[in-house]
Amino acid sequence: MDEMDSTHSTSSGRASSALKELLEIIERAARKGETSLNLSGLGLKNLPAEIGQLTNLKELYLSRNQLSSLPAELGQLTKLELLGLEDNPLRSPPDVVEQGTAAVLAYLRELAKGEKKRYEAKPLILGDGKEGKTCVSRAVRGLDFKENIRTEGVEVVKWSFGNTRYPAVKEKDITLNIWDFEGQEINYQSHQLFLTDKSLYLLVINGRRQFKLERAEYWLDTIRARAPESRVILVASECENTMPSWPLDKLKANYGDLLRGEKWYFAVGCQTDKGIGALSEEIRRAAAEIKLMGMDWPESYQRAADVIRKRAETDAQVSRAALYEIFEKSRIDKENFEYVAGQWGPLRRVWMPDNTYRWLCGEHAAEYKK
């Protein structure tokens, strides 16, 4: 046995021993009918399905481990009141952990009924008014150039393409629901309702005008505050015949946590397609690297999302009663309605239509958030 084989064997042996020890802890806790169990700081990468046997648990501490996902069997712990998940690199459940233990259990119960891997994300295009955001959105999707396009509220468009990580696997093709936001001053605050973490952002600034550092910093600071684990690609628009002189070194030094990687800045010209190919390629690559890409997704959530997306084409708003009716028809368990609806829950990551955006930005915003 060479050194590499010996190292692999030792590592496998340790993992097997750790799993055996964990199973013994679970078995002992189940036998005693324990109501509290502390598994924090054990370096756990996975939880075995046997965790679902601990139906008497009221408290389960899993902090400071290496958990990237949670087993659906955890949803069987109906008496659980406290679930400690701090300091784990969780990819899923999405947007749920912050809502608390009950919301996590609701998500896992729905997951246990049927799941699929979801290769869909919501990149956002941000920037001030008349910076060329819609032109950039059209160009990277291969659409013809149109002048003087103004977005009212937010335009949500689909863009599907092959997954750069799995180019030969059709089932893993990626769909981006691109949000192109209006840039008017009155809507800047409402934009923040829609910024989600672990996503991809394009910050578009007109390259022909005088560069205003404070405006770039405003948008980058806003994204950092609301979505600190996201990636931002900086785009200089209208650069058909010019190359802007921007303080790129300063921006990279101050916002390197957002402007990640080597390809974080692109100077483009939508009329001539200058730089568009490279930008489009980088968006595809970055989308495949989004942390939540390929996450586990309850089939019941997908059914509800499809219905709501279709309804949004004609209805300017949806009442909570109507939303719950959609949940029921989508076979979401009634006891989970409240948690799925919370801040639109997992559905908000899929989409938020133009008319709902305008409604939330208007007089009903405070009422809806109640």
pTM of the complete model: 0.77
Q: Give the model's confidence band at 369: pLDDT under 50 very low, under 70 low, under 90 confident, else very high.
A: very low
State whether residue 325 is helix, strand or coil. helix
Cβ neighbours for 91, distance < 8 A, ≥ 6 positions apart: 68, 69, 291, 292, 295
Structure tokens at 10: 């030792």
Q: So what's the pLDDT on residue 178?
A: 87
Which letter does DSSP use for residue 261 in this model?
S
Vertex 60 angle, CA 57 and 61, to 5°: 165
Report the amino acid identity of residue 40: S
pLDDT tens per residue, range 316-345: 667 778 889 999 999 999 988 888 876 444
Average pLDDT score over residue span 206-214 = 93
Q: So what's the pLDDT on residue 213?
A: 95
Q: So what's the pLDDT on residue 153?
A: 59
- Residue 2 above 90 pLDDT? no
Average pLDDT score over residue span 153-180 = 88
Q: Please tell me which residue, 53 or 352, carries the higher pLDDT value.
A: 53
Which letter does DSSP use for residue 87 in this model?
S
- Residue 368 above 90 pLDDT? no
- Residue 37 above 90 pLDDT? yes
Which letter does DSSP use for residue 270 in this model?
T
- Residue 347 above 60 pLDDT? no
What residue has token string 């560069």? 211
- Residue 192 above 60 pLDDT? no
Q: Residue 249, Cβ neighbours under 10 Å: how many?
A: 8
Structure tokens at 97: 């952990």
Q: So what's the pLDDT on residue 248?
A: 96
What residue has token string 């994300």? 121
Structure tokens at 166: 């799995």
| Contact (CB, 8 A) for 258 and 231 | yes
Q: Please tell me which residue, 169 or 9, carries the higher pLDDT value.
A: 169
Vertex 315 angle, CA 309 and 319, to 5°: 90
Q: So what's the pLDDT on residue 16?
A: 72
Q: Give the model's confidence band at 33: pLDDT under 50 very low, under 70 low, under 90 confident, else very high.
A: very high
| Contact (CB, 8 A) for 107 and 87 | no
Q: So what's the pLDDT on residue 179?
A: 80
Burial code of 350-359, b = ≥16 C-beta within 10 A, e = fewer? Answer: bbbbbbbbbb
Q: Please tell me which residue, 302 or 279, carries the higher pLDDT value.
A: 279
Cβ neighbours for 186, distance < 8 A, ≥ 6 positions apart: none
Q: So what's the pLDDT on residue 18?
A: 80
Share of the chain above pLDDT 90, in %: 49
- Residue 267 above 90 pLDDT? yes
pLDDT tens per residue, range 236-252: 999 999 899 999 999 99
pLDDT tens per residue, range 71-83: 889 988 989 999 9
Which helix (H) or strand (E) covers residue 155, if one does? Answer: strand 154-161
In order of 25, 31, 38, 291, the CA distances from 60 in angstroms are 13, 16, 6, 26
pLDDT tens per residue, range 98-149: 778 888 888 888 888 888 888 988 888 999 888 999 999 999 999 998 876 6
Which of 234-243, 259-268, 355-364 is predicted with the least confidence, judged by mean pLDDT?
355-364
